[in-house]
Amino acid sequence: MLALLKQKSYRDRTLQTLFVGGLAVMLVIFVMTARTNLEAQGMTSGFDFLERATGWGVSFSLIDFSTSDSYLKVIWVGLLNSLFLGVISMSFATIIGIAIGIMRVSGNKMAELIGTIYVEVFRNLPLLLQAFFWYAILTTLPKPRDAYDIGGIAFLSGRGVYLPGLNVSGLSVFLSAIGLVIAFAVWLNLTTSRRFAKMMPKEKTARARSIWLAWGFAACVVMAMGRIPDTPLLNLPYLKGLNFREGIRVSPELLTCIVAISIYGGAYIGEIVRAGFNAVSNGQKEAGFALGLTPWQIFTRIRLPLAIRAVMPMLINQYVWLFKATTIGIAVGFVDFFMVISTSINQSGQTLELIAILMGGFLCINYTMAFALNRVNDAIKLKGTQARG
Amino acid sequence: MTNSQSAVRISDMDKYYGTFHALKGINLDIAKGEKIVICGPSGSGKSTLIRCINRLEEHQVGSINVLGTELDDNLDNIDEIRRETGMVFQHFNLFPHMTVLENCILAPMLVRKQERHLAERDAMELLTKVKIPEQAEKYPGQLSGGQQQRVAIARALCMKPAIMLFDEPTSALDPEMISEVLDVMVGLAHEGMTMICVTHEMGFARQVADRVIFMDGGEVIEQAPPDQFFDNPQHERTQAFLGQILGH
Amino acid sequence: MAQTYSGPGVFKRIRDDYFSTRLNTVVTLGFAAFVIWVVWSLFGWGIQQAIWSPADKDHCGHGSGGACWAVIAARWRLIFFGLFPFEEQWRSGIACAAIVLTGGLSCVPWFWSARRLSALWIIGFAVFYCLMRGGFFGLTLVSEQNWGGLSLTIFIFASVTLIGMPLAIVFALLRQSRLPWIARTMGVVIDTIRSLPLLSILFTFAIVIPFVLPGWMIGDKLYRVIVGYALFFACYQAEIIRGGIQSLPAGQDEAAMALGMSYWNRISYIILPQAFRNALPATINQLVITFKETSLVVIIGFFEILASGNAAYGNAEWNFAHVEVYCFVGLIYFTFVFALSRYGAYLERRMAVVER
Residue B114 vs residues B107, B117, B119, C341: alpha-carbon distances, Å:
9, 9, 6, 43
Number of B/C CB contacts below 8 angstroms equals 62
Give all chains having 3 or more CB-to-CB distances under 8 Å with chain C.
Answer: A, B
Interface probe for A, chosen from B69, B70, B75, B77 (most Cβ of A below 10 Å), is B75
Which is more confident, B104 or A375? B104
What would you report as the CA-atom Rg of chain B, rounded to the nearest whole angstrom? Answer: 18
Quote the CA–CA distance of C158 and B205 in Å, as a whole number: 61
In a 13 Å sphere around the CA of C70, the CA atoms on its Cβ side amount to 18
Beta carbons of B95 and C255 less than 8 Å apart: yes
Quote the CA–CA distance of C123 and C138 in Å, as a whole number: 21
Beta carbons of B111 and C249 less than 8 Å apart: no
Q: Does any domain span residue C22? A: no
Quote the CA–CA distance of C89 and C96 in Å, as a whole number: 11
Least confident of A52-66, A311-325, C50-64: C50-64
* Confidence at residue A388, expressed as pLDDT on a 0 to 100 scale: 43
Beta carbons of C258 and B111 less than 8 Å apart: no
Beta carbons of A128 and C334 less than 8 Å apart: no
- Computed from CA positions of residues A213, A215, A216, A220, in that sequence, does the dihedral angle turn out positive or negative? positive
Smallest CA-to-CA distance from C171 within C91, C240, C229, C115 is with C240
Which is more confident, A215 or B36? B36
Beta strands in chain A (DSSP E): 148-150, 154-157, 160-163, 165-166, 234-235, 238-240, 243-245, 248-250
What would you report as the CA-atom Rg of chain A, rounded to the nearest whole angstrom? Answer: 26
Interface probe for C, chosen from A128, A139, A321, A347 (most Cβ of C below 10 Å), is A128
Quote the CA–CA distance of B227 and B206 in Å, as a whole number: 7
Quote the CA–CA distance of A115 and C129 in Å, as a whole number: 41
Classify residue C295 by its DSSP letter: G
Touching check for C262 and chain B: CB below 8 Å? yes
Which is more confident, C19 or A265? A265
Interface probe for C, chosen from A33, A37, A129, A322 (most Cβ of C below 10 Å), is A129
The tens digit of pLDDT for each residue in A350-385 reads 888 888 899 899 999 888 888 888 887 777 777 665
Compute mean pLDDT per 10 residues along chain C, 356 residues long, and list them.
Answer: 63 76 82 88 80 72 68 81 80 87 85 84 89 78 81 92 94 92 92 90 86 78 92 95 91 94 92 89 91 91 84 76 87 91 83 56
Touching check for A7 and chain B: CB below 8 Å? yes
Q: Using DSSP bridges, classify how beta strands B69-70 and B85-88 pair: parallel, antiparallel or unpaired.
A: unpaired
Q: Does any domain span residue C62? A: no
Separation in Å, CA of C95 to nearest CA in chain A: 23
Q: What is the mean pLDDT of residues B151-175?
A: 93
CATH number at C264 reads 1.10.3720.10
Touching check for C259 and chain B: CB below 8 Å? yes
- Identify the three-state secondary structure at position C25: helix
Beta carbons of C265 and B156 less than 8 Å apart: no
Interface probe for A, chosen from B59, B72, B73, B74 (most Cβ of A below 10 Å), is B73
Touching check for C255 and chain B: CB below 8 Å? yes
Q: Is 50 exceeded by the pLDDT of residue A389?
A: no
Contact call for residues A154 and A255 (beta carbons, < 8 A): no
- Enumerate the residues of chain A whose CB falls inside 8 A of the CB of residue B75: 6-8, 11
Smallest CA-to-CA distance from A189 within A9, A181, C313 is with A181
Touching check for A2 and chain B: CB below 8 Å? no
* Confidence at residue C3, expressed as pLDDT on a 0 to 100 scale: 58
Q: Does any domain span residue C6? A: no
Number of A/B CB contacts below 8 angstroms equals 13
Q: Does any domain span residue C195? A: yes
Beta carbons of C185 and A20 less than 8 Å apart: yes
- Enumerate the residues of chain A whose CB falls inside 8 A of the CB of residue C189: 23
Q: Using DSSP bridges, classify how beta strands B35-39 and B211-216 pair: parallel, antiparallel or unpaired.
A: parallel
Interface probe for A, chosen from C200, C320, C322, C332 (most Cβ of A below 10 Å), is C200
Which is more confident, A215 or C355? A215
Facing C261 at nearest CB: one of B55, B111, B152: B111
In a 13 Å sphere around the CA of C247, the CA atoms on its Cβ side amount to 15
Q: Does any domain span residue C252? A: yes
When pLDDT is cut at 50, 70 and 90, the band that residue A283 belongs to is: confident
Single-letter residue type at A20: V
When pLDDT is cut at 50, 70 and 90, the band that residue A172 belongs to is: confident
Q: Alpha carbon C52 to chain centroid distance?
A: 30
Instruction: Please give the residue range of the domain that contains residue C235.
Output: 75-84+142-355
When pLDDT is cut at 50, 70 and 90, the band that residue B1 belongs to is: very low
Q: For the beta carbon of residue B244, count every other beta carbon within 10 angstroms.
A: 10
Give all chains having 3 or more CB-to-CB distances under 8 Å with chain B.
Answer: A, C
Beta carbons of B74 and A7 less than 8 Å apart: yes
Total residues belonging to chain A: 389
* Confidence at residue A6, expressed as pLDDT on a 0 to 100 scale: 79
Facing A19 at nearest CB: one of C34, C182, C323: C182
Interface probe for B, chosen from C248, C259, C356 (most Cβ of B below 10 Å), is C259
Touching check for C109 and chain B: CB below 8 Å? no
Beta carbons of A124 and C182 less than 8 Å apart: no
CA angle A49, A52, A56 (to 5 degrees): 110
Single-letter residue type at B22: A
Touching check for C252 and chain B: CB below 8 Å? yes
Beta carbons of A129 and C306 less than 8 Å apart: yes
Q: Is 50 exceeded by the pLDDT of residue A220?
A: yes
Touching check for C10 and chain B: CB below 8 Å? no
Facing C197 at nearest CB: one of A107, A110, A327: A327
* Confidence at residue A387, expressed as pLDDT on a 0 to 100 scale: 46
- Enumerate the residues of chain B whose CB falls inside 8 A of the CB of residue C256: 95, 107
Quote the CA–CA distance of B170 and C92 in Å, as a whole number: 63
- Enumerate the residues of chain C whose CB falls inside 8 A of the CB of residue B87: 255, 258
The residues that bridge with C118 in the sheet, in sequence order, are none
- Sequence-separated (6 or more) residues with CB below 8 Å from residue C310: A132, C298, C325
Beta carbons of C323 and A30 less than 8 Å apart: no
Beta carbons of B76 and A9 less than 8 Å apart: no
Q: Does any domain span residue C91? A: no
B interface with A, Cβ–Cβ below 8 Å: 73-76, 78
Cα-Cα-Cα-Cα torsion A334, A340, A344, A347, nearest 10 degrees, comes to 20
Residue of A nearest to C34 (CA): A114
Q: 0.80 exceeded by the pTM? A: yes
Burial of C274 (0-12, 13-18, 19+ CB in 10 A): buried
- Enumerate the residues of chain C whose CB falls inside 8 A of the CB of residue A367: 195
Smallest CA-to-CA distance from A145 within A240, A68, A282 is with A240
The residues that bridge with B31 in the sheet, in sequence order, are B6
Separation in Å, CA of A202 to nearest CA in chain C: 32
Beta carbons of C326 and A114 less than 8 Å apart: no
Quote the CA–CA distance of B186 and B204 in Å, as a whole number: 8
Give all chains having 3 or more CB-to-CB distances under 8 Å with chain A.
Answer: B, C
Q: Does any domain span residue C250? A: yes
Those of residues 336-355 in A touching chain C at CB distance below 8 A are 338, 342, 345, 351-352, 355
Smallest CA-to-CA distance from A381 within A318, A291, A293, A316 is with A316
Q: Does any domain span residue C296? A: yes
Structural domain count of chain C? 1
The tens digit of pLDDT for each residue in A129-166 reads 999 999 988 888 777 777 777 777 778 877 778 877 77
